[in-house]
Structure 1
Amino acid sequence: MFHRLANPSLSVRMARWGIAIVALYGLIALITPWLVQAGLLPDPNGGLENPIYAPPSLAHWCGTDRLGRDVCVRTLSGSSVALQVVLIALLLALAIGVPLGMVSGYLGGGVDRLLVLVMDTLYTLPVLLLSVVLAFLLGRGLPNAAAALCVVYVPQYFRVVRNQSAQVKAELFIEAARSLGAGPAWILRRYLFRNVITSVPVLLTLNAADAVLVLGGLGFLGLGLPETIPEWGSDLQQALTALPTGIWWTALFPGLAMFVLVLGLSFLGEGLENWLSGSPVNLS
């Protein structure tokens, strides 16, 4: 997402900021549900007793929305939902795309041509468009949103790993292993995996930033999660009608939360890219 930076100190600062931001969101995602359950924070779906569209105040730091729900709590709860959906989706995409890419790149032949055809077809479709179609077919819900995102990102892992596997299989140590009687399964596990997996963390981090935006786009279009689940995109969609009347807080805080998380993940991806490409980033 970011081009290589000429100033390494700037890259170090970006990596540090990325780690700090992602860690902060992870902490918020972990403790917010517990605080709500313990009664230390109000229910993100409650608010019948609150005034609607109340501006930010000491009682409601980020104001209330059209149903009297606390915008601050819904924004904090949205962190947990976003990270949960994105993490599940990308881990599934990783678990599917990496093995398929290794098998395709190593075996070649008809298997490779078939997998490349399928994955290239999916890859040529715009990410948001493909996710919208899948979300529409699967319906609203957390597992369905994660499944839609998973399918979208599988081709990216497949393409990267497949290309690297095709290069690595021509190396002398692979030929030596084959001459000693090692089978394809052993070579894939023992030799190929450790040589192709190094580029995956960077792709995973940058895909996470992209997936947060795609999930928000699905919610904004009404195809993501049910309204009872706090999610930044759906909250932004609900805030759209009130924004022209001067009610800015219902859109500002969910949008700002999404923007900062995407920025942090992008910074983290840049730091990982520098480190894994041979330009170490000293984070100490």
Structure 2
Amino acid sequence: MATLWLQRFWGWRPRTLSARLARVGVWVLLLYVLIALISPLLFGIGLLPDVNTGLENEINAPPSLEHWCGTNRLGQDVCARTIAGAGVALKVVVLALTLALIVGVPLGMLSGYFGGPVDRALVLLMDTVYSLPVVLLAVVMAFLLGQGLLNAAAALCVVYVPQYFRVVRNQTASVKAELFVEAAQSLGAGPVWIMRKYLFRNVITSVPVVLTMNAADSVLMLGSLGFLGLGLPAVVPEWGAELKQALTALPTGIWWTALYPGLAMFILVLALSFIGEGLDAWVSGDEARP
């Protein structure tokens, strides 16, 4: 959508623009990864940090030279918690999508290759999950699993497994009909060997595009869970939880507690969307390949 908007109003060529957007997204994502890696060294925080700078007497202080993004209602530095939130978001997103890939891709290949009752049962299960509203499904799973980093990742994983299953299943069923697969079957090759040797490399090409789009969506999904008080404990500096706490302060003119976490989330989602759009154009042939 960003490519079409800029093409229409600025007259840039889609091929050049989508490549530039993808490069910008990659650099921004690398910056977030770097921030997530060095934030424990900067603030002395652990895996589930509570970045409390000991400023209990400086409640809701506005941005200043000492505290660039101000402090919140607990006297905590907003800049520190926003930076720490990048690490938390990336950990949950990477873990959730990794689990979704581990579950969804093999199930999609099994369903598309064998067909029959196995295919019908898996398709019925995945279509049922896929038909549910994603936010509601994530909320229910987070409520059932409880708070925690692993539980939040598992709740998001359930949302995205059907998407990988559907994409991989359709690709597997299409590739299975090719002559080279039939030739391998006629020579006595087993299903595991065929799926590993021929099917996997052909069906996996469409997964990175879905993965990148899901990464952007999962950042927003995690923020939604945090805003509702689910997913991660309250002490964890998560962007959605920060926005929830800042909601009551906005009417009183305390804008900085909401601006910086929201801006960090927006930039990360935009960067991931740019990468996904560039990958989609490259896979579909709209971009010149290197």
Say whether the 8 Å CA contact 1:86–1:146 is kept in structure 2.
yes
- Cα offsets for 1:248-276 (capped at 9, x unmatched): 00000000000000000000011111112
Match of 1:208 among 202, 211, 215: 215
Say whether the 8 Å CA contact 1:168–1:192 is kept in structure 2.
yes
- Cα offsets for 1:68-114 (capped at 9, x unmatched): 00000000000000000000000110011000000000100000000
- Cα offsets for 1:142-197 (capped at 9, x unmatched): 11100000111000000000011111100000000001110101011110000000
Q: What is the CA distance between 1:202 and its match in structure 2?
A: 0.7
- Cα offsets for 1:173-224 (capped at 9, x unmatched): 0000001110101011110000000000111010000000000000000012
Q: What is the CA distance between 1:115 and its match in structure 2?
A: 0.3
What is the match of residue 102 of structure 1?
Answer: 109
- Cα offsets for 1:38-61 (capped at 9, x unmatched): 9xxx97133344400000001110
1:43–1:36 distance in 2 versus 1, CA, 3 Å: farther
1:281–1:104 distance in 2 versus 1, CA, 3 Å: same
What is the match of residue 269 of structure 1?
Answer: 276
> 1 CA distance for matches of 2:270 and 2:40?
24
1:217 counterpart = 2:224: yes
Aligned AA for 1:89? A
Give unmatched runs, 5+ long, in structure 1: none
Q: How many aligned positions are there?
A: 280
> 2 CA distance for matches of 1:37 and 1:219?
23
Give unmatched runs, 5+ long, in structure 2: 8-12
Say whether the 8 Å CA contact 2:59–2:73 is kept in structure 1.
yes
> 1 CA distance for matches of 2:19 and 2:108?
32
Say whether the 8 Å CA contact 2:19–2:287 is kept in structure 1.
no
What is the match of residue 267 of structure 2?
Answer: 260
Say whether the 8 Å CA contact 1:12–1:282 is kept in structure 2.
no
> 1 CA distance for matches of 2:54 and 2:273?
35
Aligned AA for 1:24? L
Q: What is the CA distance between 1:8 and its match in structure 2?
A: 1.3
Percent of aligned pairs sharing the same letter:
71
What is the match of residue 138 of structure 1?
Answer: 145
* Correspondences of 1:1-284 after superposition (within 5 Å): 7-37=14-44, 44-281=51-288
> 2 CA distance for matches of 1:282 and 1:110?
41
Aligned AA for 2:83? L
> 2 CA distance for matches of 1:17 and 1:281?
17
Question: Secondary structure at the residue paired with 1:194?
Answer: helix
TM-score by length of 2: 0.93
Once superposed, which parts of structure 1, at least 4 consecutive aligned residues long, lie more than 6 Å away?
Answer: none
> 2 CA distance for matches of 1:267 and 1:35?
29
TM-score by length of 1: 0.95
Query: Comparing 273-282 with 119-128, which one deviates more in the overlay?
Result: 273-282
Aligned AA for 1:170? A
> 1 CA distance for matches of 2:150 and 2:59?
31
